[in-house]
Structure 1
Amino acid sequence: MKTEKILSNRSNLQVLYEDNHIIIVNKRAGDIVQGDKTGDKPLSDVVKEYIKDKYNKPGNVYLGTVHRLDRPTTGLVIFAKTSKVLPRLNKLFLSKDIQKTYWAVVKNEPPKTADTLTHWLVKNPKNNKSKAHNREVTGSKKAILHYKVLKKLDRYYLLEINLETGRHHQIRSQLAAIGCAIKGDLKYGFDRSNKDASIHLHAKHIEFIHPVKKEPLAIDAPLTDDVIWRACDS
């Protein structure tokens, strides 16, 4: 599988892949994928403006949101450019035919160098947080991820994570449950925030069979240029 080059790198949008059917961008920390009660401009609107400007499209631009990343998280986000391809992409996610790989930086050493974590998560809408339980409880959803330690940094550990399920704040809550809160993630127990309000969780890599072209597609998202991520990528 060939990783695509960056196609566009504007100050507010980094396009990693684009064709007639889909567009994949590298989300910045602080961006929201879809509009919410904050009223802040969502990434979906930024992508629509990019498409409208690039192709000189009159009227409204169609864009379907396939999945989301938490606001302080960075990395790969896929959008559908047509109503025809949106249900096909949704089906890929539901059937787990899209391989998603994340990188996370944690301060505490994990109990094992590689492991599978299984928890039952309960979402609390009031504080927008998920609590991980070691057994099934009322209102819980099963969450499974696989992690391995990629690198030991001076004061942190770089983990690679692959998801089996896609639950609310799954990586954040499951890593916190084993004593490995992600750097900067105050909500899940890290001791201090990052200056830019980000957390060191990055949707790094994605692989799937293109739902229209039927060709394998593999995309990597470049890391944010900060001292910790630079150390991870060196």
Structure 2
Amino acid sequence: MTSDSHSSPSSILPILFEDNHLLAVVKQPGILSQADDTGEPDMVTLLKEDLKIRYEKPGNVYVGLIHRLDRPVGGAMLFAKTSKAASRLSESVRSRQFDKFYITVVHGSPKASSGRLRHYLSKDAARNIVTVYDKPTADAKEALLDYVVVAKHRDCSLIAVKLVTGRSHQIRAQMAAIHCPLFFDRKYGAPIVEGEQDIALWSASIGVAHPVTKEWMIFLSEPPRTGVWTRFSERDYTNALHILPSEGFEA
């Protein structure tokens, strides 16, 4: 397990872990996971540039994208440094042997303190928004997540989430569907509140078997203590990180 980070020469890329096969880093909110038509900064390009500088590599640098985080979401991300590692890690994702845990702050609180949400999501790519259905629907994909309410503060709750499936906007859409939209997530119905910032969703833990050694590895990242995140105590975050990789997380 590893959770200690150090910064690479590019200060926006704190490194959680690195060896010849893997690179686990902290993505800052607002950065794209991979390049798009806007030409704005993205993690893959930034990491390639960083590796090229740090290791003084004259040619192309390989960085394999294993999973994505929405642009406004920050936290732990895992990349491959070789094509073989990328292939094996991608298979871990497909076979659901790639654990993804998040911490989020939502408006209100779910009726149950823990549970599994099952919905069916259909994405409108042109509008970049997901529609949620309670029953199987044409062109909609099943979405499953498990959650635990870690703490409550007045009108909001700190929630730990384990993704079972990995659908676009899944946590954002499913929490909104149970009337608990994420703070600042205006796209999915969050009310306007003072001090608008990036949506309150953080990739807190990734668990996966190392593609070469097969050792189970866990990479941890805590959200910044700014804005809405300051409503909860350090003990709350300790409890959340304890819940995340534990057995029996599912309700």
* Alignment coverage as a number of residue pairs: 233
Cα displacement (A) at 1:54: 1.2
The answer for unaligned runs of 5 or more in structure 2 is: 235-251
Q: CA deviation at 1:194?
A: 7.8
Does the CA-based 8 Å contact 1:121-1:131 persist in structure 2?
yes
Find the aligned partners of 1:61 and 1:131 in 2 and give their Cα distance. Answer: 38
Could you tell me which residue of structure 1 aligns to residue 87 of structure 2?
Answer: 87
Residues 117-156 of structure 1: matches in 2 within 5 Å? Answer: 117-156=117-156
Equivalent residue number for residue 74 of structure 1: 74
Structure 1 residue ranges, 4+ long, deviating more than 6 angstroms after superposition: none
Q: 1:28 to 1:196 in 2, by over 3 A?
A: farther
Q: Counterpart in 2 of 1:97?
A: 97
CA contact (8 A) 1:73 1:198 kept: yes
Pair 1:84–1:196, CA change in 2 (3 A): farther
Taking the aligned partners of 1:149 and 1:18, their CA distance within structure 2 comes to 32
Structure 2 distance, partners of 1:129, 1:221, is: 27
2:232 paired with 1:232: yes
Contact (CA 8 Å) 1:102, 1:204: kept in 2 or not?
yes
TM-score by length of 2: 0.88
In the superposition, the TM-score normalised over structure 1's length comes to: 0.94
1:3 aligns with 2:23: no
Per the alignment, residue 53 of structure 1 pairs with 53
Distance in 2 (alpha carbons) for counterparts of 1:31 and 1:153: 29
Task: Give, in whole Å, the separation in 1 of the partners of 2:196 and 2:214.
Answer: 39
* Distance in 2 (alpha carbons) for counterparts of 1:25 and 1:233: 25
* Secondary structure of the corresponding residue to residue 88 of structure 1: helix
Per-residue CA distance 1:107-147 (angstroms, 9 max, x = gap): 11111111111001011112101111000111110011111
SS of 1:30's partner is: coil
Answer yes or no: is the 8 Å Cα contact 1:64–1:81 preserved in 2.
yes
Q: Matched residue of 1:190: which SS?
A: coil
Matched position secondary structure for 2:202: strand
Deviations 1:38-96 (A, max 9, x none): 21021111111111111111121111111100000111111110111111000000001
Q: How big is the shift at 1:15?
A: 0.9
Find the aligned partners of 1:134 and 1:34 in 2 and give their Cα distance: 31
Aligned to 1:107: 107
User: Is there any run of 5+ residues in structure 1 with no aligned partner, and where?
Assistant: none
Tell me how far apart the structure 2 counterparts of residues 155 and 108 of structure 1 sit (CA, whole Å): 5
What residue is the counterpart of 1:18 in the other structure?
A: 18
2-side partners of 1:228 and 1:155: how far apart? 11
CA distance in 2, matches of 1:195, 1:45: 31
Distance 1:54 1:194 in 2: 41
2:29/2:198 contact within 8 Å kept: yes
Judge conservation of contact 1:4–1:16 (CA < 8 Å) in 2: yes
Distance of 2:233 and 2:42 partners within structure 1: 29
Q: CA deviation at 1:230?
A: 3.6
Answer whether contact 1:75 1:203 (CA < 8 A) is retained: yes
Percentage of pairs with the same residue: 37
Task: Find the counterpart in structure 1 of residue 243 from structure 2.
Answer: none
Q: Which amino acid aligns with 1:60?
A: N
* CA 1:99–1:147: 2 relative to 1, 3 Å: same
Q: Deviations over 1:180-205 (max 9, x none)?
A: 00001000000127857410000101
Q: Quick one: distance in 1 between partners of 2:61 and 2:14?
A: 19
Do the aligned partners of residues 130 and 139 (structure 1) sit closer, same or farther apart at CA in structure 2, a change above 3 Å counting? same
Q: In the TM superposition, what is the alpha-carbon distance from 1:211 to its structure 2 partner? A: 1.2
User: Helix, strand or coil for the counterpart of 1:31?
Assistant: coil
Q: Alpha carbon RMSD of aligned pairs, Å?
A: 1.6
